[in-house]
Chain A
């Protein structure tokens, strides 16, 4: 079985952390699908990619946005310089396949041509046509416990309800965070100062589970477990209202958790 990842940017933080976790487990992904390839091709035309993949990162919109938001936590919980270097080295040799949108017919044909594959997906919502491909398993990182915290702002809601942090690797399915679980680990969390820090820490630790999950699956030590979900919209979580977030931040700053 092949292994792969999808991403819209090689500088995407989650993608790089997941890739590094796979490398740590001795897994060298067979392919990386870089979709929304217009930007990639544009950059390639100017020779940026060949010269220096890291330079491509500096140009990426997501990187600029994350900087402009002043998200300091991003810089706190990130791969070490050595890890980044190892990731870059792998990327410089990896089979990076430019593709159109992840749900486009050409990308679907591309994935079909890969044969059986388990793919760490960083590509947003997948359409039924992609999910119905019977040669591919798409994995998602969910920085919370499932099925308890399906949906949005799950780190915030878990903190609000005084629950432990978890990281989950699950199969992507039609429903929101309803797919079968491959790996779910409790994340030991130190006392942090802000919601943003908890989020960054939780996602950083959850991304690091990807390698373990894929390795476990390939070695037949891990298998998928079905989630028991009601499917009712009221049983999932939504974007937290700013007033609740404000109280949550106060609670965190008091270290009440």
Chain B
């Protein structure tokens, strides 16, 4: 606890020393701490009712992508790093660089900017060079020099599959196949991953590894990939999901495993949802919908989602921006699946909050402009004072998918 306090004291004091950083922190202080009002014993947050039009949404997306490209340009390799207010740029993060690739590909397609493909290819080529002999990829940032990790490997497969589909270059598929073979070789008999898992313990958010396994199965028709994915999905649903939709063993820490962060809850749900769609499996889809609907209920009631949730879905901690964007994506996918307009409506409201957070309205350097912080306010527990690239990536994904869904909805309604 003392270490934490000292860290916070250091972060606050250092950030207040420099003008631009001070502006960002003070801005969050004023709009978050002083912006809250309590009416009828209910906290009214200024971010809960601010809305943005389509032009402002497009501008937010452009800023988001520009920051991601700036992140890549700030690295010496082809990967993507994160920006920390106190210490500056990190080294590249292989896992998140992997799943940023599909974001860039989708953006390039949506706005017809083919030059962005070169950024995605540069990243993919770099990731191939750092793939381990086993087929896996290391965990955490490059500077951490960790061993290969199941979850991280799964996310890089997403990038490889995206690049293979885009370029038809077999080297990306070969890399993905090598990674899938490794994942299959180390799965436990009950379907979970323990060996080479982060912290060495099984976690349900590995459902987010199942989807890329299934993507590679769709291309290669290697039944083993499908079988291993299904084994893991069954383990998650049958052994770890409660009746109310909450998941056991869902946090990326041991200490707080009784109240996982929204970020890893969202990984788990999205993994189930993507896999359910790829398998066309009702059981898997229903499991995803059960949890997604619970979060929809909480969002509708409180107008925001907390950072952590205990087994009774009681929320705690400040907003975790990544998790919010991921949940928005899940609702948008559910809109596409069910055509229930309330999913789209809720996702748009969530994105309003995220645009509000991104739109700091202070003078910023390119290192932070357009970036999504780990938490709101900036000093929240998750990634305090940091702009992790995955928060911005999921925010971009959410805005991209929202645009697609909105077009679909207005066409269906005849409002176009």
Are A157's CB and B341's CB within 8 A? yes
Q: Residues of A contacting B348 with CB < 8 Å?
A: 241, 243-244
Task: Report the bound CA distance from A241 to B300 in whole Å.
Answer: 13
Q: Identify which of A79-87, A100-108, A248-256 touches chain B.
A: A248-256
Please, how many angstroms separate the alpha-carbon atoms of A240 and B348 in the complex? 10
Q: Is A238 interfacial (CB 8 A cutoff)?
A: yes
Chain B residue with the shortest CB-CB distance to A257: B414
Using A232-B293, A233-B300, A234-B296 as known contacts, say yes or no to A241 and B415 having CB atoms under 8 A apart. no
B364 at the interface (CB under 8 A from A): no
> Which residue of chain B has the shortest Cβ distance to A241 in the bound complex?
B348
Contact B297 A233 (CB under 8 A): yes
Q: Is the interface of B mostly helix, strand, loop or mixed?
A: helix
Check if A238 sits within 8 Å of B414, measured CB to CB: no
Question: Which residues in A have their C-beta under 8 angstroms from that of B342?
Answer: 234, 236-238
Cα–Cα, bound, A250→B414 (Å): 10
- The answer, among B296, B343, B415, for a CB contact under 8 Å with A248, is B415
* Neighbouring B residues of A251 by C-beta, 8 Å: 413-415
- B345 touches which of A161, A241, A247, A250 (Cβ 8 Å): A241
Is B410 within 8 A of A238, CB to CB? no
- Contact assessment for A243 and B406 in the assembled complex, using a CB-CB cutoff below 8 Å: yes
How extensive is the interface on chain A, given as a class? Answer: 20 to 34
Q: Given A233-B300, A247-B415, do A241 and B410 touch, yes or no (CB 8 Å)? A: no
* 0/1 interface trace, chain A 212-255, chain B, CB 8 Å (1 if under): 00000000000000000000111011101111101110110000
Q: Is A160 an interface residue when CB atoms closer than 8 A count as contact?
A: yes
Interface of A is mostly: helix
Question: Is A162 located at the chain interface by the 8 A CB criterion?
Answer: yes
Tally inter-chain residue pairs, CB-CB below 8 A: 57
In the bound complex, do residue A234 and residue B343 qualify as a contact, i.e. CB atoms below 8 Å apart?
Answer: yes
- Chain B interface residue count, Cβ-Cβ cutoff 8 angstroms: 24
A247 engages B349 (CB within 8 Å):
no
Residue of A nearest to B297 (CB): A233
Q: Which of B330-381 contact A (CB under 8 A)?
A: 340-343, 345-346, 348-349, 352
A243 touches B54 (CB 8 A): yes
A250 to chain B, nearest CB (A): 6
In the bound complex, how far is the Cα of B51 from the Cα of A236, in angstroms?
A: 22
Tell me the minimal C-beta distance from B345 to chain A in angstroms: 5
- Assess whether A244 is in contact with B345, with CB atoms less than 8 Å apart: yes
Assuming the contacts A232-B293, A233-B300, A238-B345, asked whether A256 and B414 have C-beta atoms less than 8 A apart, the reply is yes
- List residues of A whose CB falls within 8 A of some B CB: 157, 160-162, 232-234, 236-238, 240-244, 246-248, 250-251, 256-257
13 contacts between A and B (CB under 8 A): A162-B413, A162-B414, A234-B293, A240-B345, A241-B51, A241-B345, A243-B53, A244-B409, A246-B53, A247-B416, A248-B413, A248-B415, A250-B415
Additional pairs, 8, CB under 8 Å, beyond known A233-B293, A247-B413: A162-B413, A234-B340, A237-B342, A238-B300, A238-B342, A240-B345, A250-B415, A251-B415
